[in-house]
Chains A and B, each alone.
Chain A
Amino acid sequence: MDRDELAAVVGVNQAGIYRYLRYLGADRPTAEDLVQETFLAAFKSRTAEQDLSSPSAWLRGIARNLFLQHCRRCKRSPVVVGSEHLEQAESTWQSVFLRDGDGFDYLEALRRCLQDLSTKQRDALDMRYRDKKSRSEMAQFLGISEDGIKSLLRRLRAALAQCVEKRLALDGTDFSGNG
């Protein structure tokens, strides 16, 4: 793996590895650090026979192990993970997010589904994810309890997941906007 190859591998896969680490439970700084460590570990352990044409699974394995080591080192980590937990997460990642390739289809489907949300639903998501308001702030603004906010967000995420599933099931990669 030379400089250009390494740069290419990092460029293509860093977003996916970062997303994967965040999905596993890493916070943003940790995920950012572990992304670097993942590629470095891959670089150190590379062999001449290493197939770099599709390194995502290999890189995810490295990232998963690094994250597990990180959690074990940080006993006060808010995320309690174990090898079984990570295996289940990996299974879901492959069967749900990557089932049609590299996750691009899933992301596109999600974007479409977000456009289908009602204004009230979208405002709730914007407050939570764009404005990064706490549940109490959202509860005060929307006039419902914090548990209500928690349930609302959970329902919205479930609805989006169902929407994505339906879109992917209906027309696969056809995201012409007619779905």
Chain B
Amino acid sequence: MSKETERLIHILLCEEIGSETVPDVTDRVLKRALQHDRHSWLRGVFVGHDQSGLKSALRGSGRFGLRGAAIAAVTAFAVVCVLAGWWTVGRYPEPQATGSYKLLDATEVRRGAVLVTEDQPASLALGGYCQVRLEPNTKLRIEGKRDAEQVFLEKGAVQCDVTPGRGAFAVCSRAGTVSVVGTSFSVKLLERKGAETLGSIRKTAWVLAVAVTAGSVSVEHNGGVFNLLAGSQQIFGEEPATGPKQPVPPRGAEKVTITGMGKALGHASGKLDPVVANATVTVKEHGVEVVYYIHGWGGIIIAKQADGKKVEVTGFLGEKNGKKTITAASVGVKIIVVEEEPSQKP
């Protein structure tokens, strides 16, 4: 007799004589099978790629009397997924503001609306990737479009956090534009009234103070583009807000600083031609006097400052109508009165 046969007899004797009962595992198997079906269904729904599990679950559960419920649940879940996907992906976030603010020209926060803060700050969320904090006494207009959010800062200061890789963002102002892709920075628009007066014209100077916390920003100011890295801060511009645009220096023009005798070319009449210089600087070069015509905003100021004085002028070298010119650099024509020369006054 083989060992297998002897073992067979042994097992059968355990049953026949030893009353070794065979356990009834039916209920336990059914219970665990049902649990497995539920898990398979969930796995199939949530993981998605386990289609066999889902199919088998549907097949099994269906005959367990759960098919209707399972199909309904799957359908409902699919609808929820589609709606959620549309809501989160397809639907672009509308501008949202929180905090203490007032709306001008609008009844709700939307593009074109102007937000004004008084003594409390406010926050503005744009596109789901830009967080703009409006400091107290700030006024801005929501501009831009999808994935290219933009605000126009009319007054005050904003602090911006832009999530990288989601879209572009820019803070525009009358003093320049600060644009970023992903960074943290603050922009402050300063207004300097009455710095200079000329006749009936009261000039207002606008200064753009930009501080970069993280990443980098690109500042477009007076036709020039400046990149600021994290940790840097810079002040841009000091031009009258009501005047014409600053002329753009010729591409590739050489930036020079010359020292010479300034002379005013005109007087304040309220009819200014900012491109044609209102001042000249006469420089002696190799024994020959060379006259440089100064272009750009501030010509009258320059004229007043330069008239009869020895000045130092920094700008872009150029030529117009056979005359040498110095065009305002991006930060404006820089004129330093070197010394008073009363004897040179006309």
Chain A interfacial positions (CB closer than 8 Å to B): 1-3, 5-7, 10-11, 14-15, 18-19, 22-23, 25, 28, 32, 35-36, 39-40, 43-44, 46, 48, 88-89, 91-93, 96-97, 106-107, 110-111, 114, 125-126, 129-130, 132, 154, 157-158, 160-162, 164
B19 at the interface (CB under 8 A from A): yes
B195 at the interface (CB under 8 A from A): no
Give 19 CB contacts A-B under 8 Å: A2-B62, A3-B33, A3-B34, A10-B29, A10-B30, A14-B22, A14-B26, A18-B22, A18-B23, A22-B14, A23-B8, A28-B20, A32-B23, A96-B8, A129-B13, A130-B17, A130-B19, A158-B1, A161-B5
Contact of A92 among B5, B20, B59 (CB under 8 A): B5
User: How far apart are the CA atoms of A49 and B272 in the complex, in Å?
Assistant: 94
User: How far apart are the CA atoms of A36 and B32 in the complex, in Å?
Assistant: 9
Apart from A25-B7, A158-B1: 16 A-B pairs, beta carbons within 8 A: A2-B64, A3-B34, A11-B26, A14-B23, A22-B14, A23-B4, A32-B25, A40-B29, A43-B33, A48-B59, A91-B4, A110-B9, A129-B17, A130-B17, A157-B1, A161-B1
Contact of A43 among B10, B24, B36 (CB under 8 A): B36
What chain B residues lie within 8 Å of A15 (beta carbons)? Answer: 22
For chain B, the count of residues having a C-beta within 8 Å of the partner chain is 38
What chain A residues lie within 8 Å of B19 (beta carbons)? Answer: 130
User: How far apart are the CA atoms of A162 and B20 in the complex, in Å?
Assistant: 23
What chain A residues lie within 8 Å of B22 (beta carbons)? Answer: 14-15, 18-19
Check if A3 sits within 8 Å of B8, measured CB to CB. no
Residue of A nearest to B65 (CB): A3
Min CB gap A158→B, angstroms: 4
Check if A96 sits within 8 Å of B17, measured CB to CB. no
Min CB gap B67→A, angstroms: 10
Check if B36 sits within 8 Å of A132, measured CB to CB. no
Check if A10 sits within 8 Å of B25, measured CB to CB. yes
B15 at the interface (CB under 8 A from A): yes
Min CB gap B47→A, angstroms: 16
B60 at the interface (CB under 8 A from A): yes
B285 at the interface (CB under 8 A from A): no
Known: A6-B33, A154-B6, A161-B6. A114 touches B15 (CB 8 A): no
Check if A36 sits within 8 Å of B60, measured CB to CB. no
User: How far apart are the CA atoms of A48 and B58 in the complex, in Å?
Assistant: 12
B84 at the interface (CB under 8 A from A): no
User: How far apart are the CA atoms of A111 and B272 in the complex, in Å?
Assistant: 126
Tally inter-chain residue pairs, CB-CB below 8 A: 120
The residues in B between 1 and 53 inclusive whose CB is less than 8 angstroms from any CB of A are: 1-2, 4-20, 22-26, 28-30, 32-34, 36
Check if B28 sits within 8 Å of A36, measured CB to CB. yes
Check if A160 sits within 8 Å of B9, measured CB to CB. yes
B286 at the interface (CB under 8 A from A): no
Min CB gap B109→A, angstroms: 55
User: How far apart are the CA atoms of A39 and B6 in the complex, in Å?
Assistant: 27
What chain A residues lie within 8 Å of B271 (beta carbons)? Answer: none
What chain A residues lie within 8 Å of B62 (beta carbons)? Answer: 2
The residues in B between 167 and 221 inclusive whose CB is less than 8 angstroms from any CB of A are: none
Q: B5, B16, B17, B28 — which one has the most chain A CB atoms within 10 A of its CB?
A: B5
Min CB gap A152→B, angstroms: 13
User: How far apart are the CA atoms of A111 and B33 in the complex, in Å?
Assistant: 36
Check if A14 sits within 8 Å of B24, measured CB to CB. yes
B251 at the interface (CB under 8 A from A): no
Min CB gap B101→A, angstroms: 60
Min CB gap A81→B, angstroms: 12
Check if A157 sits within 8 Å of B30, measured CB to CB. no
User: How far apart are the CA atoms of A35 and B26 in the complex, in Å?
Assistant: 10
Min CB gap A115→B, angstroms: 11
B320 at the interface (CB under 8 A from A): no
